[in-house]
Structure 1
C-alpha cells in the first residue's frame, strides 16, 4: 500500500477538503483584506469597510512621498541580499568541513551551533550594541548606523541555522563522489567548488532564503543598529504605522499599500525558488 493511500485512509476526502479550506481562509484572509484595503479610501478603511467604495490605486503612488519607503527598500535589499549570499556560501564551506573531515572538537562545534539556536535574540540586543560601541571606540570606526554593521549582526544569527541545514543536506550526498575526485587528484577546494556546490543548490537556497528573511523582517535590531539614512523597510513601515496612531484620519490605505510593497519581494522570492526550497527542506528526512 502506498504512502498516499495511507494518508487518505487517515482523513476522508471531505474532511481533507474542509481542513484545507479552513487553513487557506486563515492564511489568505488577512492578505486579501490587505489587498482590498490598499486600494480603498482612508475613510472606508478607518470605518471598517471590507470592500472599497472605489478603487484608489493612487495609494501606491502617494506612498513614495508620504514615507521614505524607497530608501528603506534599497537598504533592506542591500543588507538582506548580501547576508543571504554570504551566509549561503560560508555555511556550505563550514558544513563541508564538519561533514567530510573528522577532527577533535567536531561534535562540540555541532552542538554549539545547535545550542545557539535556543538563545532568544532579544537577550543579545544590549550585548551586541555595547560590543559594537566599544569596538567603534577602540578602532575608531563607525559600526552602529551602518549597513555592514547591521549585516554582521544578522550573520551571527543566520549562520548557525544555515550551517545546520547544509550539514543535513551534505550528509545525504554520497561520499564516494569525494573519494573518486581525490583519486583523480582533486584538492578539497576543487571538490567543494566543482562537486559539492553544484549538487547543493537546494540547501543553498534554503540557507539563503532564511538569512534573507531574517534581514528583511527584523525590526528589533534594525531599529537600534541603524539611523535615518540606513533604516530598513521594516523599520520605515513601523515608524510610518506609529505616526498614524491617534491621527484624525489615518492614511490606512497608504499603510496597507506600503505593507503590500514590503511583502512583494519575499513572495516573489518564494515563487522563483519554490522547487529548490522544497527539496532543501526535505533533505535528510528520508535515508
Structure 2
C-alpha cells in the first residue's frame, strides 16, 4: 500500500514537465544576462560595426584609388591602383621605420612584461615596508601626461650623453628607456590584479617540496600568468608603436619609427599639387597591419588577462 502511494510522485519527479523549475531558471538566467531586448541589441551591434568598419573600408578603398579620385570624394574607386602598395617603399622610408618600431617596441614589450610579473609577484606575495607607498606611486605615475615629460626627458638624456661622452638622443636606446618608463606602471598593475586571483595553495605546496621563491616564480607563477603577461606586453608594444611625440624628438633619420615616417610623409604632402592620397592610405594600412596580426594571434589570452580580478 505504501509503495502504491509513493510510486506516482516518484515517477512524476523523475519525469521532466514543461515549464519545470530547471527550464524556468535557465530562461531567467538568459533574461538576466541579456541587458537589452534582442532587436535593440542587434541594432546597436550593427551601428557599432558600421562605426568601426566604414572608416576602415574608406581607407582601404582610398589606398587602391587614384589621388584625384580620393580628392574628389569617391568612396568606391572607379579604377584600382594596386601599385600604391609598391610605390610607398620608395616614396616613404617605411621599411626602416617598421624595422625600428619592431625592434624598439618588441624589446619594450618583452622586458616590460617580465619585469612587471616579477615586481607584481613581490608586491602581492610579500609584505614589506613601503609596499603600499610603491603601489600608490605606480598609480601616480599613470596620471602624469606624457607631454609634460617630453622636455625633462630630453634634457636628462642630453645631460647624461654630455657627461658620458656618448650620444643618447637619436638612438633606439633612448626610445627603449622612455617607453619602458611609461609602460611599466600600468603593466605592473595588470599583473598585480592577475596574481591576486591565483591560488596561494599551489605556491605553498611547492614551498613544502623545497622550492625557492625564484623557482616558484619561474615554474608556477609565470606559466599560469600568460594571459596577464600578454596583456602587459601588448600594452607596452602599442604604447611605443603609436607614439609620435617622443619618437619625433628622440630619433633621427636613421632611427625614426614608422609613426614618425608617416608624419613626415604627410607633412611633405601639404600644399601644392594633389597629395599622394593613395600612397598615404596604403602606408597607414601597412603600419596598422602588425598590430592587427598581434591582436589576432593573442586574442584568446587578451580576454582572460583583461578580466582577471573582476570576479572574486
Instruction: Report if TM-score (shorter chain) is over 0.5.
Output: yes
Q: Pick closer, same or farther for the CA change 1:4–1:120 going to 2, 3 Å.
A: farther
Is 2:286 the counterpart of 1:261?
A: yes
- Separation in structure 2 between the aligned mates of residue 196 and residue 285 of structure 1, nearest angstrom: 19
- Separation in structure 2 between the aligned mates of residue 208 and residue 19 of structure 1, nearest angstrom: 32
- Separation in structure 1 between the aligned mates of residue 30 and residue 252 of structure 2, nearest angstrom: 53
Of 175, 182, 186 in structure 1, the residue corresponding to residue 211 of structure 2 is 186
| Aligned equivalent of 1:273 | 298
Q: Pick closer, same or farther for the CA change 1:3–1:99 going to 2, 3 Å.
A: farther
Shift, 1:242, TM fit: 1.1
Is 2:148 the counterpart of 1:126?
A: no
Normalised by the length of structure 1, the TM-score is 0.98
SS in 2 for 1:102: coil
Is 2:36 the counterpart of 1:6?
A: no
| Aligned equivalent of 1:46 | 71
Is 2:58 the counterpart of 1:33?
A: yes
Of 246, 251, 254 in structure 2, the residue corresponding to residue 221 of structure 1 is 246
| Aligned equivalent of 1:168 | 193
Unaligned runs of 5+ in 2: 1-24
- The one-character-per-residue Cα deviations of 1:234-267 (angstroms, maximum 9, x if unpaired) are 0000110111111312110000000000000000
Mapping for residues 91-110 of structure 1, pairs under 5 Å: 91-110=116-135
| Aligned equivalent of 1:90 | 115
| Aligned equivalent of 1:111 | 136
- The one-character-per-residue Cα deviations of 1:159-201 (angstroms, maximum 9, x if unpaired) are 0000000000000001111111111111111110000010000
- The one-character-per-residue Cα deviations of 1:178-229 (angstroms, maximum 9, x if unpaired) are 1111111111111100000100000000000000000100000000010000
Matched residue count: 286
SS in 2 for 1:286: coil
- Separation in structure 1 between the aligned mates of residue 263 and residue 152 of structure 2, nearest angstrom: 24
- The one-character-per-residue Cα deviations of 1:114-147 (angstroms, maximum 9, x if unpaired) are 1111110000000000011111111112111100
- Separation in structure 2 between the aligned mates of residue 100 and residue 274 of structure 1, nearest angstrom: 29
- Separation in structure 2 between the aligned mates of residue 280 and residue 4 of structure 1, nearest angstrom: 25
SS in 2 for 1:172: coil
Shift, 1:5, TM fit: 2.3
Aligned structure 1 segments of 4 or more residues deviating by more than 6 angstroms: none
| Aligned equivalent of 1:135 | 160
Rg larger for: 2
- Separation in structure 1 between the aligned mates of residue 105 and residue 273 of structure 2, nearest angstrom: 36
| Aligned equivalent of 2:169 | 144
- Separation in structure 1 between the aligned mates of residue 307 and residue 229 of structure 2, nearest angstrom: 13
Of 211, 220, 227 in structure 2, the residue corresponding to residue 195 of structure 1 is 220
SS in 2 for 1:72: helix
- Separation in structure 1 between the aligned mates of residue 29 and residue 183 of structure 2, nearest angstrom: 35
Normalised by the length of structure 2, the TM-score is 0.90
